[in-house]
Amino acid sequence: SLNPHNPSSLSSELISVNHRRILISFKRKPLSPAAQSLKSRSARAVSSPPETRTQKFRHCFSRSDEGFLYCEGVKVEDVMEVTEKRPFYLYSKPQITRNVEAYRDALQGLNSIIGYAVKANNNLKILEHLRKSGCGAVLVSGNELKLALHAGFDPTRCVFNGNGKVLEDLVLAVQQGVFVNIDSEFDLENIVAAAKLAGKNVNVLLRINPDVDPQVHPYVATGNKNSKFGIRNEKLQWFLDAVKA
């Protein structure tokens, strides 16, 4: 260490969110017969026992022989019938659970944290479910840290990434006990300053640039020697000594 609302009118397992991603597109009103039927079918679809590791990984979406799209065995057209007539996002809670379990199985026996990148999808319901599933959160801004705390994440299982961290956000991270990734010498100086302002030690990680060819588009490559991210091998010992000091 270094000095929106619950869509209960449909189902708790199929979450539908409108295009602004901040409002659940269901009104609190008595269930229609169609919605009641849909809720019952959705509950049956997700109540089956978890798959064993030997079972083939499956995805929540499927298409019937007639060409209809289904999510967890529920016809998507039926979902559309009981939502407001506007674009929406449809998420599967069991699919998210299966994804987490796949990572957990792969990391079994290792001291690890499954960290969800909040920037990938900041929907509060999804964040809360991931937190309940035992995940940590990977953050790149102070606002993401505040959102993760609002969703109930344990800050000591969160990691603050990025080479553009500002001092104010770093102070908040230090105060909350978040792991902070050191990305550069400049970043290290700011982290030390934040620790002094907060009056606390800070748990740090070193983000290492492995200088490998990821064989992706140059604009999204983050692990080669020309990338702005991470510490290069020849500088690693200097950073280790600086952290210990």
Domain architecture of the chain: domains with CATH: 14-93 (no CATH), 113-244 (3.20.20.10)
Band (203; pLDDT cuts 50, 70, 90): very high
Give the chain's radius of gyration (CA, Å).
22
Global pTM?
0.73
Instruction: Measure Cα distances from 88 to 9, 81, 235 in Å.
Output: 16, 12, 48
> What is the C-alpha to C-alpha distance for residues 242 and 231, in angstroms, rounded to an integer?
13
Query: What 8-state DSSP symbol labels residue 159?
Result: E
| Integer angstrom CA distances of residue 60 from 47, 69, 228 | 14, 10, 37
Residue 145 burial (CB count, 10 A): 22
Whole-number pLDDT of residue 6: 38
Q: What pLDDT is recorded for position 111?
A: 93
For 11-15, 147-151, 213-217, 226-230, which range has the lowest pLDDT when averaged over its residues?
A: 11-15
Contact 208, 231 (CB under 8 A): yes
β-strand partners of 114: none
| Average pLDDT of the chain, as a whole number | 82
- 171 in helix, strand or coil? helix
What are 94-119's pLDDT values in tens digits?
A: 999 999 999 999 999 999 999 999 99
Per-residue pLDDT, 8 = 39
Are 79 and 85 a contacting pair, CB within 8 Å?
A: no
